[in-house]
Structure 1
Amino acid sequence: MPDQPTSEIRPFEDHDLKELRLLFGMSAMETLGVANNKAYGHPMVLAIWIALSSIFVQYLGWWPRLEFGFIGYLAPFPGFAVIAVPILFAVDWHHRPFFEKEIRRFLSREDILYLTQYYSSLHAPHSRFLVLVWSKRPIGYIAVDAAAPDDDLSNLEDEERLPSPDDSVNKKAVNGDTPEAIKEREKAIDVLRAKMTERMKKVKSKPPPDYAVIRHYHVDRVYVSTGVQFDLLRKALKDVFSLAPSLPTPTSTSSSKKGKAKGRKGETDAGDGGASAVTVNKVFIRISSLESGREQVFRELGFVPSKTRAPEGTAGTFLSFETRSLTGEVWTWFEIDRARWEQEKEVEK
């Protein structure tokens, strides 16, 4: 009898990166599909489709012909279908470059390029990058950032300054195949590495926050019906809320040297800024209006819209051609605190 498939949730390992990069891309493409579907049902898109189809049918004389009975009423349908195809293509053609750029920016973010270092417990004990594995293959991930939860992370796509196509540079330079382009990328990598190093220095120089942010979360939709997405989120929240380490404040390092006579192993007097128990009391995540499936998962585990972080973006009546979704997009912050998490655990029991 063949072995039954097994699942496990474990910390990220270097050999997971190839499969994870595929999941990163799948996550963005799923959102592209949602953006397309929302645009197809937008009143303005439907109005344009009906208007153009009517003109086309009128021009060809394909309006219903009563002399053919019931079959005659089907005459306009080919005309409407013909006009629908270029509209479907145009919507995807508008959306796709935004999402492709987003994938490039995502894959070149500092926390993804230096994944092991960024989510290391050395920077913040509550930070972690967990991988959901099914039959020895990664099918999901979740990243919790407790080191710099409020920071906007840099990425190579923004740091890199490739030559402009208008400046007598051929396309190879823009695509990064020439020595000049490679040199620019190496510069960007150095800048990105320096920024992350500086960020981690700041993290160590100030008291850690008592909250964390879920920066990344995704589960392959093929496995969603099994409910493993809830297991992944529960595991991450359990780890974050259960861990309560005693970490020294920035002043305790120097104070411990002065206070060696007062105790062993760096114990300091409370008045000298000694070790302070640091716990995460709240976890945030920002969810797009294009990610209704993700929102449902987090709501079921107790997340509620945040009262301290306002929604971002717009979703109006008119089409928006400057954003990645023609119908607009709203980013809503959700949160769960320790008390609500404890309540959810009691309900599950």
Structure 2
Amino acid sequence: MESKTPRIRPIDSSDRKLALFIVGKANFESLAVANRQAYSHPLILGTWLLLSLAFIHVMNWWPSSHRGLLGIFGYLKPLPAFASVAVPLMFLIDWNNRPHFEERTQNAIKEKDMHNPVAYYNQSPASGFWILEYGDKFIGLVALDVNDGKRTHKGIIRHFYVEEAFRNTGIQEDLLNHALTHAFDKSSALDSIEATDAPRLIPYLHECYEKSGFKLGRGSQSVGIFGYWKYCTTALQRKDWKRPSS
């Protein structure tokens, strides 16, 4: 039986559709996380409870008890009200959150690097777009852009994603370290590497960045209902980078 081993390889031209799909999937995964967190927010739960009670009162669906077996079902009368209020409330939350994440998705897949990833990331020896695989199975990807590194002395992680089933293994740390080592080794002019971090939405990447020495900056973009979720810039300085032990 052939043994499967994880490997990190450069992207090739046949991977473009996969890369576009994963970039879109990553942003809509964040939408699902945002919706779930909103559903359990105390303010949303309180609103749901108050509206449900008001609906029960208007419909006169308060519990009632009568003698006999059928009387037991009188206690279940309010339940449809809670469900009837929950469904439109969930729809409104998704309706409010969705445009922010759809915009981020469109911006990401329309970026100049996604038109021809192979050509774009071959412009600089320090840049790279890598695919992580286990046998023939896709696990994750990372794209580090250093095309303007000589001028700005800065690299940018444009895309970073690992499939949910593999996140508990910490394989994302190996993928990130591969990209960082490649960039810092190939460009002596590179002083820092930046990435976009969303601690509440993508905690596994936030933890990965922290372990690698990235530090959150001051700037942030609030998205979603109440502006509850923030996208921040996080950066790793060369002096803070620790080469992973082989």
TM-score greater than 0.5 by the shorter chain: yes
The letter of the residue matching 2:164 is R
Alpha-carbon offset, residue 140 of structure 1: 1.4
Matches within 5 A, 1:211-222: 211-222=154-165
- Please give the secondary structure, in 2, of the residue aligned with 1:8: strand
Alpha-carbon offset, residue 67 of structure 1: 6.1
Counterpart check, 1:235 vs 2:178: yes
Counterpart residue number, 2:208: 297
Alpha-carbon offset, residue 142 of structure 1: 1.0
In the alignment, structure 2 segments of 5+ residues that lack a partner are none
- Please give the secondary structure, in 2, of the residue aligned with 1:285: strand
In the alignment, structure 1 segments of 5+ residues that lack a partner are 150-206, 245-277, 315-322
Matches within 5 A, 1:171-250: 207-244=150-187
Greater fraction strand: 2
Alpha-carbon offset, residue 70 of structure 1: 8.8
In the superposition, relative to structure 1, how do residues 105 and 337 fare at CA in structure 2: closer, same or farther (>3 Å)? closer
1: distance between equivalents of 2:29 and 2:72? Answer: 41
- Please give the secondary structure, in 2, of the residue aligned with 1:327: helix
Alpha-carbon offset, residue 75 of structure 1: 4.3
2: distance between equivalents of 1:119 and 1:90? Answer: 40
2: distance between equivalents of 1:74 and 1:339? Answer: 64
Counterpart residue number, 2:121: 119
- Please give the secondary structure, in 2, of the residue aligned with 1:311: strand
CA RMSD of aligned residues (A): 2.6
Counterpart residue number, 2:26: 27
The letter of the residue matching 1:313 is Q
Following TM superposition, the consecutive aligned residue runs of length 4 or more in structure 1 with deviations greater than 3 angstroms are 64-75
1: distance between equivalents of 2:134 and 2:115? Answer: 24
Alpha-carbon offset, residue 40 of structure 1: 1.5
Counterpart residue number, 2:108: 106
2: distance between equivalents of 1:28 and 1:20? Answer: 13
Counterpart check, 1:327 vs 2:237: no
Counterpart check, 1:145 vs 2:45: no
Matches within 5 A, 1:235-274: 235-244=178-187
In the superposition, relative to structure 1, how do residues 133 and 66 fare at CA in structure 2: closer, same or farther (>3 Å)? same
Counterpart check, 1:313 vs 2:212: no
* Equivalent pair of 2:66/2:74 in contact (CA under 8 Å): yes
The letter of the residue matching 1:237 is L
If you compute each CA radius of gyration, which structure gives the higher value, 1 or 2? 1
Q: TM-score, normalised by structure 2?
A: 0.85
In the superposition, relative to structure 1, how do residues 137 and 21 fare at CA in structure 2: closer, same or farther (>3 Å)? farther
* Equivalent pair of 2:63/2:78 in contact (CA under 8 Å): yes
Q: How many matched pairs? A: 241
The letter of the residue matching 1:334 is T
- Please give the secondary structure, in 2, of the residue aligned with 1:331: strand
Alpha-carbon offset, residue 14 of structure 1: 0.7
* Equivalent pair of 2:219/2:233 in contact (CA under 8 Å): yes
- Please give the secondary structure, in 2, of the residue aligned with 1:132: strand
* Equivalent pair of 1:124/1:208 in contact (CA under 8 Å): no
Q: TM-score, normalised by structure 1?
A: 0.62
Matches within 5 A, 1:8-27: 8-27=7-26
